[in-house]
């Protein structure tokens, strides 16, 4: 076979391969970097979504002001939520207080996707950046939002960090069976590095640890769906 024919066949073979999901976040705690910085990197596989530094000025908002929720992946209008009294300026995936949030999609069980919710994963990121100063505040805001308005996306990992600490939160919906989502968040120890790339990273986790947070029903919901039948301490 001529070399040119081999090259053409190779190119066609590459074109026929399904595109890889490659959203990746790498995380470093402040004692794992030379200068004490907390670091989060974000590489997204979607060229149509990433590469822009989205900017939303902060400010004061009158009572009754509503914030539109538009799905990040598609630009589709999903609904509106009440605006808070004050929001923070954001640029890219960071706000004026140095809070940073990135993501990686892992999908999970298809039956847990819920198209009736209005908070998609992108909106969770950007609304939380507008309203939170710290990772713990962001986790509270993001999980309150899905509990109130429903979660529109599939399983997701979020890197959430500021200048002091970094967390990974993993969240998945309830498939319309109940409103909201189940989730677990773990703080990355200061001297450690971590990362996630389209695969859930949190498996078993301590149930009584101030640096591990989780939805109160995460284990019971799994039991109710027939996913788990063991002891709480063995839940994965």
CA atoms in the 13 A half-sphere facing the CB of 202 = 26
pLDDT of 51: 65
pLDDT of 236: 94
pLDDT of 54: 84
pLDDT of 98: 97
pLDDT averaged per 10 residues in sequence order, the chain, 236 residues: 40 40 88 97 75 88 97 93 98 96 94 93 97 98 97 96 98 91 98 94 96 97 96 96
Strand order in the sheet with 39-43: 39-43, 24-28, 193-196
3-state secondary structure the chain: CCHHHHHHHHHHHHHHCCCCCCCEEEEECHHHCCCCCCEEEEECCCCCCCCCCCEECCEECCCCCEEEEECCCCCCEEEEEECCCEECCEECCEECCCCEEEEEEEECCHHHCCCCCCECHHHHHHHHHHHCCCHHHHHHHHHHHHHHHCECCCEEEEEEECCCCEEEEEEEECCCCCCCEEEEEEEECCCCEEEECCCCCCCCCCCCCCCEEECCCHHHHHHHCCCCCCCHHHCC
3-state secondary structure of 7: helix
CB 126 within 8 A of CB 56: yes
Instruction: Tell me how far apart the alpha carbons of residues 90 and 80 are, in angstroms, rounded to a whole number.
Output: 19
pLDDT of 49: 62
């Amino acid at each position: 076979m001529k070399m040119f024919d081999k090259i053409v066949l190779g190119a066609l073979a590459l074109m026929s391969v399904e595109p890889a999901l490659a959203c990746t976040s790498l995380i470093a705690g402040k004692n794992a970097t030379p200068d004490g910085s907390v670091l989060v990197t974000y590489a997204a596989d979607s060229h149509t979504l990433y590469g822009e530094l989205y900017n939303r000025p902060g400010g004061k908002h009158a009572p009754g002001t509503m914030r539109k929720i538009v799905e990040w992946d598609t630009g589709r209008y999903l609904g509106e939520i009440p605006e808070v009294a004050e929001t923070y300026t954001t640029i890219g995936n960071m706000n004026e207080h140095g809070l940073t949030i990135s993501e990686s999609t892992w999908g999970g069980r298809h039956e847990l996707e819920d198209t009736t919710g209005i908070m998609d994963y992108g909106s969770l990121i950007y609304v939380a950046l507008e309203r939170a100063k710290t990772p713990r505040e962001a986790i509270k805001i993001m999980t309150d939002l899905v509990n109130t308005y429903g979660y529109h996306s599939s399983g997701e990992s979020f890197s959430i960090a500021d200048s002091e600490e970094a967390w990974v939160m993993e969240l998945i919906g309830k498939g319309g069976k109940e409103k909201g989502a189940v989730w677990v968040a773990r703080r990355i120890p200061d001297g450690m590095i971590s990362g996630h790339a389209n695969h859930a990273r949190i498996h078993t986790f301590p149930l009584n640890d101030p640096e591990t947070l989780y939805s109160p029903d995460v284990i019971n919901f799994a039991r109710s769906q027939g996913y788990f039948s063991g002891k709480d301490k063995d839940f994965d």
